[in-house]
Structure 1
């Protein structure tokens, strides 16, 4: 499924590297674990091999998928607009999308928050979600597109130059 030194994505944590696969005795049963070190914060996770897909562990997106995500950021036709919806409800919805591990969901959260921020000041929680979405998205895209993370942030800033004043994504 996953191999040592492979880059993988763990939902809400981001890109990590499978450092090793090890067996541990847990409650009298031997269980194999992927030992994954998250690149952004150096946290180590133990993910049971047999449950890896269920928890959302997935391979890094491909270059083509990364390019498609960038294209999806350009399309604003799915933007529902700021409807005065309770920020707390949006926060829960966006948090769930970030936890899904789906890169398209992460891109959606980033785009929505940037566009909502055009019309109103984001709450503290929304700004934190924006930072989280930015970090998750730009690191994975930088690795899949073989670019520096700052280059990917610059592309996003350019895509949203009409709404980001000053630059939010840094």
Structure 2
């Protein structure tokens, strides 16, 4: 299980640190909560310990998995590039909600390829998903490699250019 000080990823929110465990009395029932601080957004969430398994909370990746992330950033699915007019917001939102960094990297790779293939850029939902995916990965890279936000964004941009 998790403990105070662990670096974790919460799907759709990104990476943060467990800063505390608190016990709250809710309607006469004592419940334990993980207090997680997300440094990129400066947000703190309280996550009920009893719901942690279903929530998708996971530990951050190891530094040796960054090569997989770099590969996922530079590889786009050909089917996405073929149909550039259709927004892929639902598929991308599903991938982002998984909390998996490789899924987020794949969203970035696919939407970056789609953006390059279109004369007028991405649809609004695609732009939002691209930004969310980048922020998701940036937040995790900041904890995995102690990158600044700019260094993490550079890592993403450098590997997307290889696509």
TM-score, normalised with respect to structure 1: 0.84
Q: What CA distance in whole angstroms lies between the structure 1 residues aligned with 2:71 and 2:41? A: 28
The aligned counterpart of 2:106 is 108
Give the aligned partner of residue 66 of structure 1: 66
Gaps of at least 5 residues in structure 2 are: none
Is the Cα–Cα contact under 8 Å of residues 9 and 101 in structure 1 kept in the other structure?
Answer: yes
Find out whether 1:40 has 2:40 as its counterpart: yes
Structure 1's unaligned 5+ residue stretches are 164-170
Q: What CA deviation, in whole Å up to 9, does each residue of 1:72-104 have, x standing for no partner?
A: 22334x3322314631xx111111111111111
**1:15-26 to 2 correspondences below 5 Å:** 15-26=15-26
Q: Distance in 1 between matches of 2:86 and 2:71?
A: 29
Contact 1:16–1:38 (Cα < 8 Å) also in 2: yes
Distance change >3 Å, CA 66–CA 161, structure 1 → 2: closer
- Tell me, what secondary structure is at the counterpart of 2:8? strand
Give the 3-state SS of the residue equivalent to 1:129 in structure 2. Answer: helix
Aligned length: 160
Q: TM-score, normalised on structure 2?
A: 0.87
Within 1, Cα distance between the matches of 2:64 and 2:15? 18
Aligned to 1:14: 14
Contact kept? 2:74, 2:161, Cα under 8 Å: no
How far apart are residue 162 of structure 1 and its match?
Answer: 6.5
Q: Greater RCO between the two (CA within 8 Å, min separation 6)?
A: 2
Contact 2:105–2:133 (CA under 8 A) maintained in structure 1:
yes
Instruction: Name the structure where helix makes up a greater proportion of residues.
Output: 2
Q: 1:66·1:145 contact (CA, 8 Å) conserved in 2?
A: no
**Aligned alpha-carbon RMSD (Å):** 1.9
